[in-house]
Amino acid sequence: MKAKQEVIVQEREKQLAKKLKEKEREIERELEAKQAEKKKQKQQIQALSFKLDEEEEYSDKEEIVSFLMLKSFGHLIKKCFLI
């Protein structure tokens, strides 16, 4: 009888250890998922920042081209509006 109880106790301990291990794996997967989501968001933010930098750079180039064109063809523009 005592041997049978010991076997039952050992089986129960194995089951509890298995449940505990499964719970630890689940927590680890959740943590990895959160880290992956944070990494994804960080990359998206960096990508947006890069796009904004490109747009600002393009806008600066547009202003320079506009200025140069105005400087080069300003006298023609003045004549058009005076006519």
Q: Would you state the pLDDT for residue 4?
A: 87
Q: Which domain holds residue 5?
A: 1-83
Residue bearing the bigger pLDDT, 74 or 23: 23
**Total of domains in the chain:** 1
Sign of CA dihedral 56, 62, 64, 67: negative
Q: What's the rounded Cα separation, in Å, for the pair 21 and 39?
A: 27
Question: What does pTM read for this prediction?
Answer: 0.49
DSSP state of 1: -
Q: What's the rounded Cα separation, in Å, for the pair 64 and 57?
A: 11
Confidence class of residue 44 from pLDDT cuts 50, 70 and 90?
confident
Q: What's the rounded Cα separation, in Å, for the pair 79 and 55?
A: 34
